[in-house]
Structure 1
Amino acid sequence: MTLKAIKYGNGKLEVLDQLLLPTQTKYVNIKGVEDGWHAINKMQVRGAPAIAIVGCLSLAVELQQEVYNCKKTLRQEVEGRLNYMVSARPTAVNMKIAADDLIALVNSLDEDETVDVESMKLRFVQAIERMLDKDVSDNRAIGDNGSLAILSGKKMDGPVRILTHCNTGSLATASYGTALGVIRSLHANGKIDQVYCTETRPYNQGARLTAYELVQERIPATLLCDSMVAALMKKRHITAVVVGADRIAANGDTANKIGTYQIAVVAKHHGVPFYVAAPLTSIDFKIPSGDHIVIEERPDHEMTHIGDYRIAAPGISCWNPAFDVTPAELITGIITERGTFMPTEIENLRYISRQHMS
């Protein structure tokens, strides 16, 4: 049974505090937009799909506590709070796309004279609540599509060895996961020999979160340091690399957790297929290439300390980008809920993407 990072029901929202994993399992009560913004910004919740869901659900919780006398006020409140939520983690595009779609919805409801203010609020909250179920079904489709792509493209018989980076499982989504969803699908079909997960410095999402999920799911897995990937590929046959994405540009360039780019370079050198697993909501068709993706930079403290313990020499300066961009030419395929596509085919998904999200 997969871990539940997001608990929502009866107007109440709780998120699993991922800063405390794997030693503590504690849920944080999110009472509104401000709580949601801080939980996302502090990385108590992380992963592009989960960021969008928690950000929007925090607004749903807040709206259900408020009484509005006119539709215009409700529309203005929704727009302002959604735009504020986008600023919590700007690189992850899912929150921005969700905000744009919900703002379009609230404007449409405001203009509809047959809808009163209470119906407007109810329909808006219901639209947000549907995001939870949609994320789970999309991730299961991603898992099955990715499993099929890897098995059909592998060169050797027998079970597969998969390398993944950062955390893309139920802790990064509503449930199941994207890249880890692909691994779950392979494991369910008895096709996994070994999963290798990187530690993912400096925040150690791989060591703390992915390793935790793999152990919980009883999937055969091995943890390795970020600097060991090249040696691993030289010493052991790796069937494929599968990672997630925080933003995919129209040309297929992909922003993901820092360290992804160098894994793609090493995979290319060793002839290992490199897949990106992400929902269509991670594609930003307004961004022509990865050069235009804004990369979030995190505080020095994440590099210089583990918890409250300092590991770096006092006085040293730090550069701490949270993400890097993998060029499309290094990516074998982009796995979505609608199938697996070459990066050159991404632009052709523009219509399908908007239709799927409407």
Structure 2
Amino acid sequence: MLEQYDTFKPVLWDDEAVCLLDQRLLPQQHQYLYCRSVAEVAQAIRDMVVRGAPAIGITAAYGVALAARQRYAESATNWRDNIEADLQQLEGARPTAINLHWAIARMRDRLAGLDGDPFEVLLQEARAIHEEDIAANLKMGKFGASLIVPGSSVLTHCNAGALATGGHGTALGVIRSARADGKLATVYADETRPWLQGARLTAWELLQDQIPVTLVAEGAAAWLMQQGKVQWVIVGSDRIVANGDVANKIGTYSLAVLARQHGVKFMVAAPTSTIDMAVAEGGAIPIEQRDPAELLACGGQRVAAEGATAWNPVFDVTPAQLVDAIVTERGIIERPDSAKLARHMGQHR
């Protein structure tokens, strides 16, 4: 039975800095970046040193604790006024991942009413967010695995594993749990252009846990499904809105369309902190646009013809109608819609 996740840690606190496993360097280098200021934490989030909605939220929470220590050291009387600029700097680092805003809102609530040095209280809150995320991933892994028939093969996109969370993972948490239950025949991973998270991160991460993985180009997914080689597509999410629409790494929507065409089930695994009930439908989700150079080059080497331009949205939105199941730490939402999301989110209020 899986009770904890400790193979590697993407986010750490070492009493002096927020320590981030630099995911830009994997799999060739296993190196931590030490962020000793709020500006460095925000830059690391923007530069995708750390990525994945839950991991970004955890990193930001530790960043708030770091800010509180620095601001209190500067002024024991004015630290509260000064820290708001730090919170806004962190919030602006990535617009689509709702866990970033959720984590900062939770830390801001914890700030309210604090007297004296706020550092230890905020550090404990950040640690609680981190620990709660791992526990949520373990729960959703078991829920998601319960939907998978023994002997199934699955396809995943981008990286929604321990690297993108506090540990264990969302989509890869389901895959890990299904593997532990002896249900999986094969795991396929999209390479995921332009950052190659599937090739660099998901393949590396699964192999750390001795889970065999077969890499495919995104363009091969339709043929893979047509050949009957996949029974489930399992992905994570950066934001799920009130009607069940799902924002995730660009390419997720096309996989959902292909899955429906070929009779393949489509699962989204994400903690309830990723569900944004304040946004009614997917068209209102802000979609981050990144530097076209990321698409025009690969590994720092230009591959596109000189003079070509690029459109580089980081995420797309999959309509709820194409989702067979959303899995959270609270359970399974089959064929999600507004009423089901509302009931699910109201269970623990």
Q: Normalising by the residue count of structure 2, what TM-score does the alignment of the two structures yield?
A: 0.93
Matched, 1:322 2:320: no
What is aligned with 1:303? 295
Aligned: 1:22 with 2:27: yes
Shift of 1:48: 0.2
Aligned-residue sequence identity (percent) comes to 42
> Residues 123-159 of structure 1: CA distance to partner in whole angstroms, max 9, x if unpaired?
22321221111111111111111101234xxxxxx42
1:89-145 Cα offsets, whole Å, 9 max, x none, are 1000001111122222222x25xxxxx322x44322321221111111111111111
Q: How many residues align?
A: 339
Q: 1:124 to 1:216 in 2, by over 3 A?
A: closer
* Distance in 2, Cα, partners of 1:16 & 1:143: 23
TM-align CA RMSD: 1.5
Q: Which structure 2 residues correspond to residues 75-154 of structure 1 after superposition, within 5 A?
A: 75-107=80-112, 109-110=113-114, 116-118=115-117, 120-151=118-149
| Partner AA of 1:348 in structure 2 | R
Q: Residue 352 of structure 1: CA displacement?
A: 3.6
Q: Say if 2:196 is the partner of 1:198.
A: no
Task: State the shift of 1:262 in Å.
Answer: 0.2
Residues 166 and 186 (structure 1), Cα distance of their counterparts in 2 relative to 1, 3 Å cut: same
Q: CA separation in 1, counterparts of 2:152 and 2:16?
A: 43
Residue 338 of structure 2 is aligned to residue 346 of structure 1: no
* 2:50 aligned partner: 45
Unaligned runs of 5+ in 2: 1-5
Q: Hey, what's the Cα distance between the residues in 2 that align with 1:97 and 1:122? A: 20
How far, CA to CA, are the matches of 1:82 and 1:160 in structure 2?
A: 44
User: How far apart, in 2, do the equivalents of 1:32 and 1:236 lie?
Assistant: 50
Contact 2:143 2:327 in 1 (8 A): yes
**1:138-287 equivalent positions in 2, closer than 5 A:** 138-151=136-149, 158-287=150-279
Take 2:212 and 2:151, find their aligned partners in 1: how far apart are those partners?
Answer: 12
Question: Does the residue aligned with 2:147 lie in a helix, a strand or coil?
Answer: helix
Deviation at 1:23? Answer: 0.8
Q: CA deviation at 1:11?
A: 4.2
Moved more, 168-177 or 327-336: 168-177
- Measured against aligned partners, the alpha-carbon deviations of 1:296-328 in whole angstroms (never above 9, x if no partner) come to 001011111112211000111110000000000
More helix by percentage? 1
Asked whether the equivalents of residues 78 and 103 of structure 1 are also in contact (C-alpha less than 8 Å), the reply is no
Shift of 1:214: 1.4
Q: Please state whether the residue corresponding to 1:117 is helix, strand or coil.
A: coil
Taking structure 1 as the reference length, what is the TM-score of the superposition?
0.91
Q: Which amino acid aligns with 2:76?
A: N
Superposed structure 1 runs of 4+ greater than 4 Å apart: none
Match of 2:3 in 1: none
Corresponding residue SS for 1:60? helix
Residue in 2 that maps onto 1:155: none
